[in-house]
Structure 1
Amino acid sequence: MRHWLPALAILPLFAGHTWAAAPTAQQARDLAEAAYLFAFATAEHGKTLQAIAAKLPVNYLYNKTTLLGPEDRTVVSPNNDTLYSYALLDLREHPVVLDVPAVPQRYYSFQLIDMRTNNLDYIGTRATGRAAGSFLIAGPDWDGRQPEGFSGKVIRSPSRIVFLLGRTAVDGEADLDAAKAVMDGYKLRSTQPTLLPHKMDVPEYLPTKEGPAENAFVDFNGLSAWHAWSADEQQRLAQFAQIGVGTGKPFDAKQLPADIAQAVQQGAEAGRERIRTASERFAAPVNGWQSSPANIGHYGNDDLTRAAVAWKYIYANDPAEAMYPLTRVDAAGQALDGSRAYTLHFAPGQLPPVDAFWSITLYDGKTQMLSANALNRYAINSASNLKRDADGGLTLNIQHAQPASSDNWLPAPQGPFNLILRMYLPQERALKGDYQPPAVQPVNSQE
């Protein structure tokens, strides 16, 4: 049974709207395509909200003290460089406070994500420094009264539900205990401590990438009351309401005339295909590597980029926090596949320029999940015990079969795969685009 959120929070958006004549089939198709781009990221966000709410109460910080592996399938393209912390912040009644300890050496960050998948703000090494601190996070209905004695930073959210995603760097299994000790210092507390944490009823998630494209409308309508929409967004939602999207009520195509329902289905499918296509071509590749969009995490009215990022790697960081070049092809433009062997060679002085660390993670090309292998090695990073070339450069071996030396081996599946280079706290030349990773080279003997 699907549990619907109260419509009262969103119905005022449409009060006083003067409805035009019912849309024609073509107009309904166009509205559905535009609505799909607008709604997709929020709908896909619902998958994570549901998964976390099923296990954890709200306003409770959970530290996952093991590195993610192939069995972790909640979020596509997860990293294998950091330990994660999670919390669903329910800000409908009152703010919460996150306390962090001094972290003098290790990289860490907390990313605050709203219902539109915008990055609200950051707490961590780059954004707030290495000293201990307290941060009050408040929703759109907050009256502005701070807890007595609080003197930290205030972060305002347009969403009533915020996803808090923490990352704490860990240099492999041997470093886990030290990383856990840092995470023990993270504390999330209510500004009204008499209210006990409770489980949140999140609408059931219907798959967005497969099945009926209109699933995204069902998901979106169920979540829409948790965001305080801007005036511009309200105008757009008023248009989408003509086809039943974003009204605060269940989306039900059966309530539409048959020709309009068919047009809405066609428009939703067209929107989904646009997102799928856009997720493969954010920018012109250089050396086969595709850069992330410059506006990642802060999309404004760029619905297509917002949706494409949610499709490919939802919750991507701001570029200043981390950059994510991705490649699916080798130097000849051929799709990467574990039936062949490859090398990735960094010349001396050409390793990724970062102030924290870098990593290269391999993903199964069909699922975008980590690929199981006998070594349980899913990434190679700057802290790995790598063997340098004689000239000081670095060459990584990427293939399915184990090579003679596994020091620099990144195991690949037998089928298609892709690589993501993560650069944490990228330096200026990376941010400006002056640094480009080298192309993945096929090993000649395999041709």
Structure 2
Amino acid sequence: RAALTPAAAATEAAHQAAMDGYLYFYPLVTMDLTRRQFTHPSQGAQGAPSNAFLHVRALPQPGAAAPWANPDMLRSTGWLDLTAGPVVLSVPDTQGRLYTLTLLDMWTDVFATLGKRTTGTAKGNTVIVPPGWTGTLPSGMARIDAPTAHVWAKALIQTGGLADYPAVNALQDGFTLTPLSQWNLPAQSQRVKSDPNLDLKIPVREQVESMPTDAFFTYAAELLRKNPPHATDQPVLAPLRRVGLIPGRTFDFDRLDHPAKQGMRRGLRAGRERMEAAAGGTLRAVNGWQQETASIGVYGSAYLRRALAAQAQPGSGLPEDLAVLLLAADSQGAPIDGAHRYVLRFESGQLPPAGALWSLAAYDGQGMPVANMLNRYALGDRAPLRYNADGSLDLHVSHAPPAPEDQANWLPVPASGPVTLLLRVYEPGPALLDGLWMPPPLVRDGPPPPAEAAHREETLDGAGMTAP
């Protein structure tokens, strides 16, 4: 291979640095735009100021839900601003009720979780401390050191539906954020900063993926001044230094020479192309179900994986708290369509390995819950399900009601068109986390009843054949 000219070598070096840098910075830029949109004063009931929670008080209903809405939990979300000092996170006594409160840094890494699985359900106050803080905390308060000065807090609290809302809403009010400097003082009104340069109409992902090269890396460098990199990030930061992007300093794209500018523009495009090509590449498919096999919530130096997670679902928590599996195809590999009847059979002893609970929810082609006569959008272990005599469980997925004796196990879907099922497993066991357990296939028009299936298998075996 012929040696590159100095200009070509500079272009190639800038190309590689920008490609890797785009993947590295994508989550940071995504998180900051998400934070700024959520805390903007004009958001009203769709957001909240820094150091305050927005509580969603009811489960989503058809026509008024975000895509893939959770049918089991009410949500509370807030952004902590630690730039002026620590913030006290207070949680109520949920008296054994399941909840998970996830804390994410600006790199989308989960650095702490509170809740039934990790800290229990007792009342308590925890101080979230910014990097480099050396003050003294009040006695009796736990301390968690945040890697960055802004933190995303996301809480999920179990609810039993409409009749349970008052109890859950009262618990939500017990989740509060208070600057340590105001602890035990009368509540003070917050001084909200204006943010005139923020676009509130264009979704965050669209903004990030349409930024020109100079704007993207200038913004990223500014964020890097406020959000220190991890100690293990040196290999991706060193090449960026050679094009003038140095942690702790502003970045001036206009000062670069032409080869470096050209290389960075090409590198940013290459980074976007890498993300597009790799999307979905770590999904494992068994029986039509898709499960993410790559790490979620903590990414280390897997920058492409972290960028893809921030692109698909920023703010993902740990799979140890919640695992979600998606089904879009039946046992024959055909798309699920509301025009057909289906049965999902869990054999005896093969129910989802949930330490807390599990649920199966149905969505239409846009990821929305579908109106139905029962106002039922999910089935799970909290429902009065009817089990077969052999201990197996048949869940009926269809638009038309099944036989009366099966309606306790009926999950309604649209009359026609695409259907997607999501299985949520809270506090999943090792069998699921390690890929040793997967849900059964969804069978169109249903499998034979348990007794008939057993008789058929016995007949085939008696003829010296292997049952299919």
Any conservation in 1 of the 2:100–2:155 contact (CA below 8 Å)? Answer: yes
Any conservation in 2 of the 1:343–1:396 contact (CA below 8 Å)? Answer: yes
User: Are residue 43 (structure 1) and residue 18 (structure 2) matched?
Assistant: no
Unaligned runs of 5+ in 2: 1-5, 41-46, 448-468
Structure 2 counterpart of 1:60, from 52, 72, 76:
52
Q: Please give the alpha-carbon distance, in whole angstroms, between the structure 2 residues aligned to 1:131 and 1:107.
A: 11
Query: Where do 1:224-239 residues align within 5 Å?
Result: 224-233=224-233, 236-239=236-239
Q: Please give the alpha-carbon distance, in whole angstroms, between the structure 1 residues aligned to 2:261 and 2:421.
A: 40
* Structure 2 residue matching 1:285: 3-state secondary structure: strand
Moved more, 167-176 or 23-32: 23-32
Any conservation in 2 of the 1:344–1:438 contact (CA below 8 Å)? Answer: yes
Q: Which residue of 2 aligns with 1:204?
A: 198
Q: Deviations over 1:250-276 (max 9, x none)?
A: 989777667755654443343334334
Partner AA of 1:380 in structure 2: L
C-alpha displacement at 1:228, in angstroms?
A: 1.9
C-alpha displacement at 1:81, in angstroms?
A: 1.4
* Shift in alpha-carbon separation, 1:23–1:64, aligned structure 2, 3 A: farther
Q: Which residue of 1 aligns with 2:13?
A: 27
Q: Please give the alpha-carbon distance, in whole angstroms, between the structure 1 residues aligned to 2:364 and 2:261.
A: 36
* Bigger radius of gyration among the two: 2
Q: Percent identity?
A: 31
Partner AA of 2:192 in structure 1: K
Q: Please give the alpha-carbon distance, in whole angstroms, between the structure 2 residues aligned to 1:187 and 1:427.
A: 31
Q: Please give the alpha-carbon distance, in whole angstroms, between the structure 2 residues aligned to 1:415 and 1:252.
A: 51
Q: Which residue of 1 aligns with 2:465?
A: none
Any conservation in 1 of the 2:320–2:433 contact (CA below 8 Å)? Answer: yes
* Structure 2 residue matching 1:102: 3-state secondary structure: coil
Moved more, 46-55 or 114-123: 46-55
C-alpha displacement at 1:247, in angstroms?
A: 6.7
* Structure 2 residue matching 1:330: 3-state secondary structure: coil
* Shift in alpha-carbon separation, 1:327–1:200, aligned structure 2, 3 A: farther
Query: Where do 1:42-441 residues align within 5 Å?
Result: 42-54=28-40, 55-69=47-61, 71-73=64-66, 77-147=68-138, 150-193=139-182, 196-199=189-192, 204=198, 207=203, 209-210=205-206, 213-215=209-211, 217=216, 220-221=220-221, 223-233=223-233, 236-240=236-240, 263-293=263-293, 295-338=295-338, 340-363=340-363, 369-374=367-372, 377-389=376-388, 391-399=390-398, 401-404=399-402, 407=408, 408-412=410-414, 414-441=416-443
* Structure 2 residue matching 1:49: 3-state secondary structure: helix
Any conservation in 2 of the 1:370–1:378 contact (CA below 8 Å)? Answer: no
Q: Please give the alpha-carbon distance, in whole angstroms, between the structure 1 residues aligned to 2:227 and 2:419.
A: 37
* Shift in alpha-carbon separation, 1:413–1:258, aligned structure 2, 3 A: farther
* Shift in alpha-carbon separation, 1:250–1:395, aligned structure 2, 3 A: farther
C-alpha displacement at 1:167, in angstroms?
A: 0.8
Q: Deviations over 1:36-90 (max 9, x none)?
A: 22122223323531332023221112322112356454xx644221111111110
Unaligned runs of 5+ in 1: 1-19
Q: Which residue of 1 aligns with 2:455?
A: none
* Structure 2 residue matching 1:284: 3-state secondary structure: strand
C-alpha displacement at 1:362, in angstroms?
A: 3.7
CA RMSD of aligned residues (A): 3.5
Partner AA of 1:186 in structure 2: F
* Structure 2 residue matching 1:168: 3-state secondary structure: strand
* Shift in alpha-carbon separation, 1:411–1:229, aligned structure 2, 3 A: same
C-alpha displacement at 1:125, in angstroms?
A: 0.5
Residue-pair matches, total: 419
Any conservation in 1 of the 2:8–2:259 contact (CA below 8 Å)? Answer: no
C-alpha displacement at 1:299, in angstroms?
A: 0.6
Partner AA of 1:135 in structure 2: T
C-alpha displacement at 1:187, in angstroms?
A: 2.9
**TM-score w.r.t. structure 2 length?**
0.77
C-alpha displacement at 1:117, in angstroms?
A: 0.6
- Which is helix-richer, 1 or 2? 2
Q: Please give the alpha-carbon distance, in whole angstroms, between the structure 2 residues aligned to 1:270 and 1:397.
A: 46
Q: Please give the alpha-carbon distance, in whole angstroms, between the structure 2 residues aligned to 1:222 and 1:381.
A: 46
